[in-house]
Structure 1
Amino acid sequence: MNRTIELLANKGQGKIKLDLKYQPGIAALTIHNPKRHNALSGKMMVELHHAVSELEHSIIANNLVALVVMGGEQSSFCAGLDLGFAREHVHSEDMSLAMNELMHNTLERISRLPVITMAVVTGGAIGGGSELITAFDFVCMSKTAFIHFVQTRMGVSSPWGGMRRLVNLVGRKKALLWMAGGCRLTAQECIEGGLADLIVGKDGECLNASLLFLKRFLMVEKTNQRVSSNAVRGMKKLALRQMKDGDDWEYEKKIFASTSLSKL
């Protein structure tokens, strides 16, 4: 994986911004590539990998309870893989698989962070962005936001662990329908299907609604006293024990390799 990080480190545009002191007890991560609807370049994948590592090592020191993740400039949450970057730099099956292994590892680690995680979704979460959505505990969407599972329409399977996590979230039949069927889901459909937790009227209201939702994990409403951070993190760890082990990269790699890699 270190070799993959070296190869991708300076490829493409955009950046990942991590603020460990965004609010007391809350860190914020921004996927910032608005000119490409916040799609992930190789450079951004490496920065995301490093940001997750920094989070893993800073949770106790910063007394973190929650993480919010959003798209830069509210243009989109994340449009998945930056296809411009892919056309320029991803020219072999080995490179594609190495890149996807990195993202599979990074998203699995996001899903297992011992803090409450929340996606703040404006615009679209498309392809790899839809797989990223499945890594969060909670999802807030603006009324006009959508999630589009375009993987099979691009001739590939689910390379970043999204199908497995989606099955855990919404059940096998619905996950198969949505992902294999290439569904484009409105915010209301995501709420009704169990993928999202909040809908707000406007893009600009999404972050504030998410922070208000997270307040219950930080403060006791009646007394306005701080909740034990260790207790909340402990609850998250207990919840994670009910999830399937994320050790199936080798299997997912075989499935992905059997699909068309040339269209990435």
Structure 2
Amino acid sequence: MESNKEMARSLLKTSSMSLGTKLLHQTGMALYNTSHGFHEEKVKKVLQQFPGGTIDLQKEENGIGILTLNNPNKRNAFSGVMMLQLLEKVIELENWTEGKGLIVRGAKNTFCSGSDLNAVKALGTPEDGVALCMFMQNTLTRLMRLPLISVALVQGWALGGGAEFITACDFRLMTPGSEIRFVHKEMGIIPSWGGATRLAEIIGRRQALKVLSGALKMDSKQALNLGMVDEVLQSSDETESLGEALEWLKQFTEGPTEVIRALKKAVSSGKELSFQEALQTERDLLGTLWGGPANQEAIARRGKFCK
């Protein structure tokens, strides 16, 4: 009997992983590379010319990370250097094997007002715009694929690129009096960090078209009704709202780290892969958990409860 269990466990753990699954979960895998005409190092040199602000990451012992956009003098708008630092922090999170959850927020009670206009004005050619688009799509896709359950804490304004950023998180929470707005139409462009694609998935194609083409100002009540956010918090205070967000996230991150991370990977696969590949991913992930410590402990506990 025991040998049969060992054989099954071995089969599950050694089952071949599909190419699509490997690409989805390979650490550091980007959407674009030189074959697409994207030269990351060249873009980095350009972005380095636009300093200001920081991206701060705090990793707690309970497996929850807090990522803070910190450029309050410009309502936490992304400078070029902040874009570079965001990629660095995402890479750090990709390698944080103890992580289970992530909260993304802005400093001083404002989420993010988009891109720093100094950088936008300097990057004036279509080639510049597309290169920046590829860079940020790469970064936010990698953030979205992290095996961490992520929550955007929207305080104050989430405008333009800030509104796009929150769509890369699994969940969104808003404080009273805050606002989400995709202002791209008024800038003569469209979302280019993946925001339009992700927004359509979150609230549906028709509603997304209304939000984008109308440059609608979504307060917390409207955003909740649209399904854009998952909950409106009680407090607008920076410290208190972060505490509320941490408590809200806790209900989804309690449990063994390896199980939470595997659940996130399975859901990501269902979203991005074909049905067959997603099923194969579930199988492969199960092989890393079945008969493992968390599984055995849970079975033992259940046995005690049934007596």
TM, length-normalised to structure 2 = 0.73
2:45 counterpart residue number:
6
> How far off its partner does 1:217 sit?
2.7
Unaligned 5+ segments in structure 1 are 220-226, 246-264
1:82 aligned onto 2:110: no
- Which of the residues 267, 273, 277 maps onto 1:239? 267
Q: Deviations over 1:78-126 (max 9, x none)?
A: 1111113322x32332222211211111111111111100111100100
Unaligned 5+ segments in structure 2 are 1-39, 274-307
> How far off its partner does 1:23 sit?
4.6
1:135 aligned onto 2:168: yes
Query: What SS does structure 1 have at the residue aligned with 2:225?
Result: helix
Aligned equivalents of 1:203 and 1:9: distance in 2? 34
2:32 counterpart residue number:
none
Aligned equivalents of 2:172 and 2:205: distance in 1? 20
Aligned equivalents of 1:159 and 1:113: distance in 2? 21
Aligned equivalents of 1:23 and 1:119: distance in 2? 20
CA gap 1:168/1:73 in 2 versus in 1, 3 angstroms = same
Instruction: Report which of the two structures shows the higher radius of gyration computed on alpha carbons.
Output: 2
Whichever structure has more helix as a proportion of its residues is 2
TM, length-normalised to structure 1 = 0.84
1:47 counterpart residue number:
85
Query: What SS does structure 1 have at the residue aligned with 2:180?
Result: strand
Task: Tell me the matched-pair count.
Answer: 232
CA gap 1:16/1:10 in 2 versus in 1, 3 angstroms = farther
Query: What SS does structure 2 have at the residue aligned with 1:243?
Result: helix
> How far off its partner does 1:186 sit?
0.5
CA contact (8 A) 1:118 1:139 kept: yes
What root-mean-square deviation, in Å, do the aligned CA atoms of Structure 1 and Structure 2 show?
Answer: 1.4
CA contact (8 A) 2:100 2:149 kept: yes
> How far off its partner does 1:10 sit?
4.1
Aligned equivalents of 1:240 and 1:138: distance in 2? 13
CA contact (8 A) 1:16 1:47 kept: yes
CA contact (8 A) 1:147 1:185 kept: yes
Query: What SS does structure 1 have at the residue aligned with 2:95?
Result: helix
Aligned equivalents of 1:56 and 1:77: distance in 2? 23
Whichever structure has more strand as a proportion of its residues is 1
2:54 counterpart residue number:
15
Aligned equivalents of 2:116 and 2:244: distance in 1? 29
Aligned equivalents of 1:54 and 1:14: distance in 2? 19
Aligned equivalents of 1:143 and 1:37: distance in 2? 18
Query: What SS does structure 2 have at the residue aligned with 1:241?
Result: helix
CA contact (8 A) 2:55 2:70 kept: yes
